[in-house]
Amino acid sequence: MIVMKFGGTSVQNADKINNALNIAEKQLPMRGVVLVSSAMGKTTDRIIDAFTSAESGDLEKALAFMEDIKDLHFETARQFLTDANLQEATVNLDRLFGQFASLLKGVVLLRDCTPRTKDAFLSFGERLSTLLISLRAKERGINVQLLDSRKFMITDDNFGSAAIDFKTTNGKIESAIKKGREKLYVAQGFISANKNGVTTTLGRGGSDYSASIIGAALDAQDIQIWTDVDGIMSSDPRSVNGVKTIPSVTYREAGELAYFGAKVVHPATIQPAVGKEIPVRVLNSGNPEGKGTTISSDAPVNGLKAIANKKGITLINIESTRMLNAYGFLNRIFSVFDKYGTSVDLVTTSEVSVSLTIEDISRLREIKEELKPIGHVHVEENKSIVCLVGQELWKDGGFLSRVFKTCEGVPLRMISLGSSDINLSLVVPFEKTDELVQKLHDQFLS
């Protein structure tokens, strides 16, 4: 069995849905498929626009947003369904949009939209997309079964970002989905229900997580994340020339890259797959023959895989005003960041000073004030982190010296050789970032 998750752009219109079904249909007779889908295109954003307008009392605007969503789905249905299937789509779409409009009116009357109500709204996106996908599959003669993920993805009551009850969920998935190659299962990503059957959601972008949970519960052979890029790239294609798809990364390398904006998969979302050592493949639905990137525990460990960067970083240096060996120094520093909910990304320390980086500077003023009694504080804004990712890089003794040679002329403000042996991070001036990344990429990855 495999789980294939299609993101919003991969199902954004009739053609894309057909293409997704081509991909699924090809694999079905070989391995059996559960197709997990996001909402079509930007539907989730439009739903949020609709209930936000309703909450502010503007029914007309709310209904206009709903009309946009409605048009997209009716238009799509008319493009690829006929006769009884079109009839079935129309009946169901009318029913769903009838409910949606009633909910909007309720929110306008109350001028209140609770997280619970928002989840009810949000669930429409995936329910609508999967309705059309399953009917199109039927129209094409595929033996298909549409599932309601709220029947088996069981969560707590934390609306908007609910936590899965794995024990209940795993059991329910196993009973809802019979392993086999006869039938294409279609299920909604992102949506779930609490133990009383009230709709919840797993948080924005939650469909990957759904796919991973379903795949893990079924001991799937792999979990495929179909998106609109060719997997994880060796660097940011928008600012670096010559980037390539990385064929394989370890789960840990993928996690490191996600922080740097390789948005294709978030490490938390593939956690259930990691636990079962199920490979997660990131593939491009616009280029289905491409190999994409495979994320697995046994990806070959072969040196540098990617060079990422993050701009808009602030460097803070704290020098102890007290004597050497004063214990509690680090602890006191970190508790300040803790207090202001500001996460620290890189840290290097010496006996008397600590350098660290933060991204979020909204509480910087307060943080600086409170650090003053602990030590002399120096802040440098407009920095970037350049991060070289690859497991066990450091076994190659010549590597570091080649990196530093390439950095010639760029003032390095901080260097952190990850304790996890996955990354070397360099803090450099903002204006030197792109140039340095390009040079490093040319040197090591092209």
Q: Which residues bind ligand ASP (CB under 6 A)?
A: 7-8, 38-39, 44, 125, 189-190, 204-207
* 185: enclosing H helix or E strand: strand 184-188
Closest to ligand ASP by CB, 44 or 170? 44
Select from ligand ASP, Mg ion, none the partner in contact with residue 190, using the beta carbon and a kind-dependent cut-off of 5 to 8 Å.
ligand ASP
Q: Rounded to the nearest whole angstrom, what is the least distance from the CB of residue 378 to ligand ASP in the complex?
A: 40
Residue 299 and residue 249 in contact, taking contact as beta carbons nearer than 8 Å = yes
- Output the DSSP codes for 307-347: EEEEEEEEEEEEEESS-TT-TTHHHHHHHHHHHTT--EEEE
Please return the burial class of 172, using the count of CB atoms within 10 Å of its CB with bins 0-12, 13-18 and 19+: middle
Binding site for Mg ion (CB under 5 A): 8, 38
Closest to Mg ion by CB, 269 or 425? 269
Please return the burial class of 152, using the count of CB atoms within 10 Å of its CB with bins 0-12, 13-18 and 19+: buried
Beta strands 184-188; 33-37: pairing state: parallel
Instruction: Count CA atoms within 13 Å of residue 435 on its CB side.
Output: 10
Closest to ligand ASP by CB, 189 or 215? 189
Reference 440, options 410, 419, 414, 417; nearest CA is 410
Q: Rounded to the nearest whole angstrom, what is the least distance from the CB of residue 205 to ligand ASP in the complex?
A: 4
Residue 121 vs residues 56, 166, 415: alpha-carbon distances, Å: 16, 24, 47
Residue whose entry in the numeric block shows the structure tokens 């990385």: 246
Residue 249 and residue 262 in contact, taking contact as beta carbons nearer than 8 Å = no
Closest to ligand ASP by CB, 19 or 269? 269
Q: Rounded to the nearest whole angstrom, what is the least distance from the CB of residue 41 to Mg ion in the complex?
A: 8
Q: Rounded to the nearest whole angstrom, what is the least distance from the CB of residue 127 to Mg ion in the complex?
A: 14
Q: How far apart are CA 74 and CA 131, in angstroms?
A: 11
Q: Rounded to the nearest whole angstrom, what is the least distance from the CB of residue 328 to ligand ASP in the complex?
A: 43
CB count within 10 Å of CB 112 equals 11
Closest to ligand ASP by CB, 130 or 384? 130
Closest to ligand ASP by CB, 44 or 416? 44
Question: Closest residue (Cβ) to ligand ASP?
Answer: 207
Q: Rounded to the nearest whole angstrom, what is the least distance from the CB of residue 336 to ligand ASP in the complex?
A: 34
Closest to ligand ASP by CB, 108 or 133? 133
Q: Rounded to the nearest whole angstrom, what is the least distance from the CB of residue 313 to ligand ASP in the complex?
A: 27
Select from Mg ion, ligand ASP, none the partner in contact with residue 80, using the beta carbon and a kind-dependent cut-off of 5 to 8 Å.
none
Q: How far apart are CA 59 and CA 53, in angstroms?
A: 7
Q: How many helices (H) and strands (E) does the chain have?
A: 13, 17
Select from Mg ion, ligand ASP, none the partner in contact with residue 18, using the beta carbon and a kind-dependent cut-off of 5 to 8 Å.
none
Select from Mg ion, ligand ASP, none the partner in contact with residue 215, using the beta carbon and a kind-dependent cut-off of 5 to 8 Å.
none
Closest to ligand ASP by CB, 144 or 265? 265
> Which residues partner with 380 through β-bridges?
315
Q: Rounded to the nearest whole angstrom, what is the least distance from the CB of residue 132 to ligand ASP in the complex?
A: 15
CB count within 10 Å of CB 52 equals 16
Select from ligand ASP, Mg ion, none the partner in contact with residue 279, using the beta carbon and a kind-dependent cut-off of 5 to 8 Å.
none
Closest to ligand ASP by CB, 8 or 292? 8
Q: Rounded to the nearest whole angstrom, what is the least distance from the CB of residue 269 to ligand ASP in the complex?
A: 9
